[in-house]
Amino acid sequence: MSDQESNESLVYLAELEGLGDAHLVGDALKEATIPFKVAINTASGFDVVIPRSWGMLYVAEGRVAEAAELLEQVRSDEFQASQAYDPEAEVKLPPESDFTGE
């Protein structure tokens, strides 16, 4: 997912819950310019070992602490809510409906 090339080796940081988790975490890491890689589990029910998660997150060895803090923030409700809420944003409401539900 990361377009950045780094001479630093990547180390395992965390399991990812799904594609949405990968995108949220990946966007935050890109914004912080932390090199990373997402490795998805491709095991099926026919494999001997069934994976515990959707994928694994690897980050630059020298920035593990920073990446772990970012990961925790992204996964917390406070961070997501503060990023999603913009009191200055103009929100266009959908047109009123004539539907009465009868």
For the chain, give every domain's residue range. Answer: 10-78
Using 50, 70 and 90 to split pLDDT, how confident is the model at 11? very high
pTM of the model: 0.65
Q: Is 10-78 a CATH 1.10.260.40 domain?
A: no
In sequence order, what are the residues at sequence separation of 6 or more whose Cβ sits closer than 8 angstroms to the Cβ of residue 33?
Answer: 4
- Tens-digit pLDDT profile for residues 31-90: 999 999 999 887 666 655 655 678 899 999 999 999 999 999 888 865 566 566 666 767
Which residue did the predictor score with more confidence, 3 or 101? Answer: 101
> Looking at residue 101, what is its pLDDT?
64
Say how many C-beta atoms besides its own lie within 10 A of residue 11's C-beta: 13
Secondary element (H or E) of residue 60: strand 55-60
| Cβ proximity of 6 and 35 under 8 Å | yes
